[in-house]
Structure 1
């Protein structure tokens, strides 16, 4: 069984800057970046222009660790203490049901 804990950082519009920093400082490899503007459109929820370039999800590889990022959606406050979460992943389906 594999069990991993991966940090997920939520930033207030500066995730792209943080990604560039960690890329240089930790020799991280950018695996993927998706902006809110690249996500499929939902006619019932039009995307505001200021959201289009914000990071919806990004994944960096730092050694054997996955480091994930996203920006808050415009208008959603970034509350101190809530901007770091831990993503728990496992390849054990029985174990994953406990989470």
Structure 2
């Protein structure tokens, strides 16, 4: 089994420690962001641009409580996941464009 192949001693040698683990570049690592393919950058920037005037869905107290009352999470989950999806596209585009810096210059 997999658990037997990777006992704690071996696992510690295979994995990076928390301080060295970087699943993606930080926003300050401009060189790595700039090296990503142009089509990928364009995709995320276009995604975020289309969401700049997005109306964020309100999640009501009733939707929060619905799960404990009825077991139904659909309304809450739909609104919550849509918010996360929009936020993720804005954050990724920010890493490419540094939109925050530009918006301060024109306001």
Return the structure number with greater relative CO, CA threshold 8 A, min gap 6: 1
The TM-score, its normalising length taken from structure 2, stands at: 0.22
Structure with the higher helix share, 1 or 2: 2
Find the structure with the greater CA-based Rg: 2
